[in-house]
Amino acid sequence: MGSLVKRLRHHNNKKTFIKYLTNTIFREAETKLDEMGYNNKHIKIPDGVTEILDKAFLSKQSLKSIIISKNVKSIGDYSFYYCQSLKYIVIPEGVSIIGLRTFDVCSSLKNIIIPKSINCVGNQAFAYCRNIKKLSMPEKYKYFIHPYCNVFECVDFKNVEITYI
């Protein structure tokens, strides 16, 4: 059995991505890509993945939901940048890093839960997520909603229900 896939990365096309996966646990790469949801609207990151690299799902316009494995420890810069149809994401406890502009311009995102395990959140990580209705995050990060902090740049918090965990 090949080595486990530990990281996901952005590739310009499916063929390149399949080639990347060929030397991994995914023997039947095309089938596994579909199971992973590479071309689908709903993605579940497999348990073997520990890191989502920079730009992994950059501009995937059809992406509507993503469930991240509990084994993922970091989500790279621009990983979900400009995924404008993304409405639902589960960031599990255990993730410690959300990179720079990770969910920037995910304008359909409605609910965000930032787990207690988060140690670092990059600039503009949730910028231009203008349809947020509910936000749950550790109290130590309540400064994120301050007008001078740019984690949620261009988000109007007047109609957002905020819960500190």
pLDDT, tens digit, 9 for 90 and up, residues 94-137:
999 999 999 999 999 999 999 999 999 999 999 999 999 999 99
Q: Where are the domains of the chain?
A: 49-164
Q: Which of these, 142, 88, 99, lies nearest to 124 by C-alpha position?
A: 99
pLDDT at site 12: 55
How is residue 14 written in tokens?
């499916």
pLDDT at site 14: 54
pLDDT at site 38: 55
Q: What does the alpha-carbon distance between residue 46 and residue 6 come to, in Å, rounded to a whole number?
A: 10
- The string of DSSP letters for 53-82 reads -TTTTTT-TT--EEE--TT--EE-TTTTTT
pLDDT at site 7: 57
- Does 24 or 6 have the greater pLDDT score? 6
Q: What does the alpha-carbon distance between residue 70 and residue 90 come to, in Å, rounded to a whole number?
A: 10
Least confident of 11-15, 17-21, 48-52, 141-145: 17-21
Rg, the chain, Cα only: 16
pLDDT at site 27: 36
According to DSSP, the β-strands at 97-98 and 120-121 are parallel
* pLDDT interval class at 149 (50, 70, 90): confident
Q: What does the alpha-carbon distance between residue 134 and residue 36 come to, in Å, rounded to a whole number?
A: 27
pLDDT, tens digit, 9 for 90 and up, residues 33-90:
444 545 578 888 888 888 998 988 888 888 999 889 899 999 999 999 999 999 988 8
What secondary structure letter does DSSP report for 143?
A: G
- Pair 132, 109: CB distance under 8 Å: yes
How is residue 130 written in tokens?
């203008």
Phi, psi of 49 (to 5 degrees): -85, 130
Question: How far is C-alpha 16 from the chain's CA centre?
Answer: 21
pLDDT at site 25: 36
What CATH number should be reported for the domain whose range is 49-164? 3.80.10.10
